[in-house]
Amino acid sequence: MLPSVAEKEKKDMAERVIKAALLGFGTVGGGVYKVLKMQQEEMVSKLGARVELKKILVRNIEKAAQKTDDPSLLTNNWKEIVDDPEIEIVIELIGGIEPARTYILEALEAGKNVVTANKDLIAADGHILLDTAAKNKKDFLHEAAVAGGIPIIRPIKQCLAGNHISEVMGIVNGTTNFILTKMSQNGMEFADALKLAQDLGYAESDPTADVEGLVAILASAAFNSRVTFDDVYTEGITKITATDIEYANEMGCVIKLLGVARNTPEGIEARVHPMLIDVNHPLASVNDAYNAVFVQGDAVQDAMFYGRGAGELPTASAVVGDVFDIVRNILHDCCGRIGCTCYKNLPIKHMNEISSKFFIRMFVEDRPGVLANIASVFGNSGVSLAQVIQRRKKDQYAEIVVITDEVKEKNLKDALAVAKGMSTVKEISGMIRVA
């Protein structure tokens, strides 16, 4: 009896194997290896083919051999991968700029599709890589480069393509969010919360820089205009104190390190810094090592993407999702559908020209007329005070908190420079922007 058409198609699907190579076998590379094995039984049904790792590029074969049940996959020779015509997908998880940049470009020029989680490289040279992929009609996908396991690049470029996006704002670093959560919920000082994060294996050397690249990538995708590392203003959380947290709570706010990208008539705002946000804002409830990205569009209005932003398997989930997308494209001969979408050339607003409300905490002499003098200094620089709070005294000094109306950054800097020189002002203890 001859097989039916359906049976033949199923058999053909089961026999189709797409060969891939993995560059790097660290935390995320190991996660990708595990996820691909976890998906083996369902791949054919999901994709119409099987994905099979043919090679894994590592520096130390002996060390890497302990992480795989098939040491024959391991190589330290890039040429074995780039010159192999059977390998159709290269998964770059080395990180850093070089040699990752060279490997990706060579892979694309050799007619291979590429998946990466390399946020630094995308932020620096994403347009070059995307243009090279387009020239060779191949896919270059990088969902895992932003917010780990949370899907955001594909939703912006595909699901939300019918929108003019005005704002992307997110908590996209689990370390800083964990620290601020512990400071807020447990009354910890920064140094103690940082040590706890390090003890738990969360803390990287410079978490703020990590967010900087993510904002550049998100802004480029959302606003269809190139934004690079150098365009992003960056300020960390090291100066945030338990006292700042306490005042924020009294005001019905929480403090979060936010990556903010806005498309304004004057240009793109791209910045990373702590902000006070209202407890009712969707991002306020994102705690511990979780990440979230909030998107505002003219059609969808508000949307938020939430989940684990980092880690072995969450990041591997995003990588394998890209791999599966490419497999579908290969099977239907439609690779290279979505490339660089930066078809605009919008200006980048300087931080001095960006307007915000501000939370300012200072110690001043506790005597009549001081507050009036301070208000006058602020007013002379075009800074209007919306609220003044006095809660504590220390010797002959009173601690006051000033909340300004919305004002340009440069005006506030001018006001603070004059205030610091006043004999009645002992110190300006903190300055945080208010959403």
C-alpha–C-alpha distance, residues 19 and 10, integer Å = 19
Q: What is the pLDDT of residue 202?
A: 72
What span, in angstroms and rounded, lies between the C-alpha atoms of 387 and 166? 29
**Are 409 and 356 in contact, with CB atoms under 8 Å apart?**
yes
- The predicted-structure confidence for 23-64, as pLDDT tens digits, reads as follows 999 999 999 999 999 999 999 999 999 999 999 999 999 999
Q: Check residue 208 and give its pLDDT.
A: 62
The CATH fold assigned to 351-434 is Alpha-Beta Plaits (3.30.70)
> ω into residue 314 within 30 of 0, thus cis?
no
Distant-in-sequence, close-in-space partners of 293: CB < 8 Å, separation ≥ 6: 147, 150, 152, 168, 169, 170, 171, 172, 218, 304, 305
Percentage of the residues of the chain whose pLDDT score is greater than 70: 95
> Where is average pLDDT lowest: 14-18, 51-55, 200-204, 303-307?
200-204
Q: What distance in Å separates the CA atoms of residue 31 and residue 23, rounded to the nearest whole number?
A: 13
DSSP 321: H
Q: Given this model, what pLDDT does residue 207 score? A: 61
- What is the distance of C-alpha 391 from the center of its chain? 37
Residues linked to residue 258 through DSSP beta bridges, in sequence order:
273
CATH number belonging to domain 163-307: 3.30.360.10
The angle at the Cα of 302, spanning 156 to 342, to the nearest 5 degrees, equals 25
What tokens does 117 get?
């989680």
Q: Write out pLDDT tens, residues 158-172.
A: 999 999 999 999 998
Alpha-carbon distance values, 64 to 59, 76, 315 (Å): 8, 11, 20
C-alpha pair distances (Å), 271 with each of 12, 79, 218, 268, 356: 51, 40, 11, 10, 12
Q: Is the peptide bond before 99 cis (omega within 30 degrees of 0)?
A: yes
Residues 6 or more apart in contact with residue 69 via CB below 8 angstroms:
none
| Tally of residues, the chain | 435
| Residue 372, C-beta contacts closer than 8 angstroms, at least 6 positions apart | none
Q: How far is CA 275 from the centre of its chain?
A: 16
Question: Higher-confidence residue: 3 or 76?
Answer: 76
- Torsion-angle region of 395 (φ positive above 0: left; ψ -120 to 50: alpha; else: beta): left
Query: Using one digit for the tens of pLDDT, what is the confidence trace for 260-274?
Result: 999 999 999 999 999
Contact between residue 410 and residue 356 where contact means Cβ atoms under 8 Å apart: no
Q: Quick check: 141 and 115 in contact, CB under 8 A?
A: yes
Take residue 314 and report the two structure tokens written for it: 């969450």
- Determine the Cα–Cα distance for residues 70 and 74; give it in Å rounded to an integer: 8
Determine the distance from the C-alpha atom of residue 377 to the mean position of all C-alpha atoms in its chain, rounded to a whole number: 38
- Residue 199's pLDDT is 85
What's residue 121's pLDDT? 94
Contact 287, 365 (CB under 8 A): no
Q: Give the Cα separation of 277 and 249 in Å (integer).
A: 10
- In this structure, the dihedral spanned by the alpha carbons of residues 110, 113, 118 and 120, taken in order and rounded to 10 degrees, is 60
Distances (CA, A) of 287 to 290, 304, 329: 6, 15, 37
Q: What is the token pair recorded at 161?
A: 């393509």
Closest C-alpha among 305, 332, 311 to residue 139: 332
The secondary structure of residue 302, as a DSSP letter, is E
CA–CA separation, 105 vs 50, rounded Å?
26
User: Phi and psi for 269 in degrees, rounded to 5?
Assistant: -95, 130
**How high does pLDDT run on average in the chain?**
92
Domain 5-149+313-331, CATH: 3.40.50.720
The C-alpha atoms of residue 145 and residue 115 are separated, in whole angstroms, by 10
How confident is the model over 339-394, as pLDDT tens digits?
889 999 999 999 999 999 999 999 999 999 999 999 999 999 999 999 998 878 87
Task: Give CA–CA dist 138/159, Å, rounded.
Answer: 21
With cut-offs at 50, 70 and 90, classify the pLDDT of residue 74.
very high
Q: Is the pLDDT of residue 82 over 90?
A: yes
User: How do the domains of the chain map onto residue ranges?
Assistant: 5-149+313-331, 163-307, 351-434
